[in-house]
Amino acid sequence: MIRVLSFTRLWALLVKETIQMRRDRLTFAMLLAIPLIQLVLFGYAINTDPKELPAALVAPTQDRFTRAMVSALELTGYYRFTVPDATAEEAERLIARGDVSFVVTVPSDFGRRVERGDTAQILIEADATDPSVASGAISTLGSVAQSALAREAGVSTPAGGIEIVVHRRYNPEGITQYNIVPALLGVILQLTMVMMTAMALTRETERGTMENLLSMPATPLEIMLGKVMPYLALGAVQVVVVLFAARVLFHVPMVGNVGLIYGGVFVFVLSLVILGYLISTVSRTQMQAMQITFFFFLPSIMLSGFMFPFRGMPVWAQWLGEIFPLTHFLRLIRAVMLKGADAATIADSLAALAVFVVVFSLVALLRFRRTLD
């Protein structure tokens, strides 16, 4: 017997689905939150042409021509001299740590050479680990410098002119893979470690084996370690594969100490698997665990400096990006692989990752329930 469409039955099904949707508050919140977050991040936080980049000035003689050049660079909107009186050694540490994007060096005889009509030089060192950050700021240098010097000298065209010497540090050829491939290690680890660990405990609940787990004479710490340690081994395999591919396929340089790379990766992966375990303690189903994981992925990838220049984001977005482990890992892995950074240089990033491990562990242990309720 062929049944015709019954609006009564259809209405009943619609009411049923609506009630179930209202009860699943997490899914309903995700449907509203994810589009809103994407809109805010892409509309306000993402900037592919970063301005107000931090810079250090090395200028032994602060004469009027030097001050004119500094003012001209600041007026371009790309440079913000956060360290206006740095020494050469201090400037080297700042650019190695990633605290500044540029080091502008004005020789002590700069003013005298301009007054004599000789060619004056200015050295600008750019952190080119992210080629897109330095390109816009460097492209405007020549015309800006000539105009500023002409105004200060009181002539239409300076006799000797000025020569801008640009050194693109750490990635002189501007190869994009040198910036992307090390960062992909962090993104791949985050994608797999958090999601797989997040489903570890919820899988026990859905399969009905949670009772067996709870009946074991094991402490919450032992249960957590038993859940996360196998994923640490899986993460180690992924690290070896990605680093091998980075070296063989993309010829990414590994300037720094390999031990520092593996040490940083270990702390990062540990923070990820514990975060995944924390997510599993607040999720009742694997679907909820997956939803929370993707809710974490979206702002983490966008605000960490992986897809878009970190310095190009507004201050509030940079502060928000600091709460994600991926942000600190990207600084660490790029500094060690491309800059040859030592342990002291990456100490802040490593300490931040260690803080994530401690905080996630404490919260996960507090959230863990020894009973099904």
pLDDT in tens, 184-236: 999 999 988 898 888 877 877 777 666 666 666 767 777 777 777 888 888 88
The two structure tokens encoding residue 79: 């440079």
Between residues 35 and 68, the one the model is more confident about: 68
Measure Cα distances from 332 to 91, 111, 288, 351 in Å: 19, 40, 32, 11
The two structure tokens encoding residue 192: 């797999």
Q: What is the pLDDT of residues 128-177, one digit of tens each?
A: 888 777 776 776 676 676 677 667 666 555 555 678 888 888 888 888 88
How far is residue 316's CA from residue 310's CA, in Å, rounded to a whole number? 12
The pLDDT assigned to 155 comes to: 53
Residue by residue, DSSP assigns 147-162 as: HHHHHHHTSSS-SS-E
Q: At 112, phi and psi to the nearest 5?
A: -65, -40
Contact 79, 56 (CB under 8 A): no
CA 357 to chain centre: 18
Q: What is the pLDDT of residues 1-32, one digit of tens each?
A: 456 667 787 788 888 777 776 776 666 666 67
| Structural Rg of the chain based on CA atoms | 27
Rounded to two decimals, the pTM is 0.82
DSSP 51: -
Which one, of 106, 165, 176, lies nearest residue 141 by Cα? 165
| CATH architecture label of 53-169 | 3-Layer(aba) Sandwich (3.40)
Residue range(s) in the chain whose domain bears CATH number 3.40.1710.10 = 53-169
How far is residue 265's CA from residue 237's CA, in Å, rounded to a whole number? 12
Mean pLDDT of 94-105: 89
Is pLDDT of 363 > 60? Answer: yes
How far is residue 58's CA from residue 255's CA, in Å, rounded to a whole number? 26
Q: What is the mean pLDDT of the chain?
A: 82
Residue by residue, DSSP assigns 100-138 as: -SEEEE--TTHHHHHHHTPPEEEEEEEETTSHHHHHHHH
Quick one: CA torsion of 281, 363, 306, 37, rounded to 10 degrees? Answer: 70
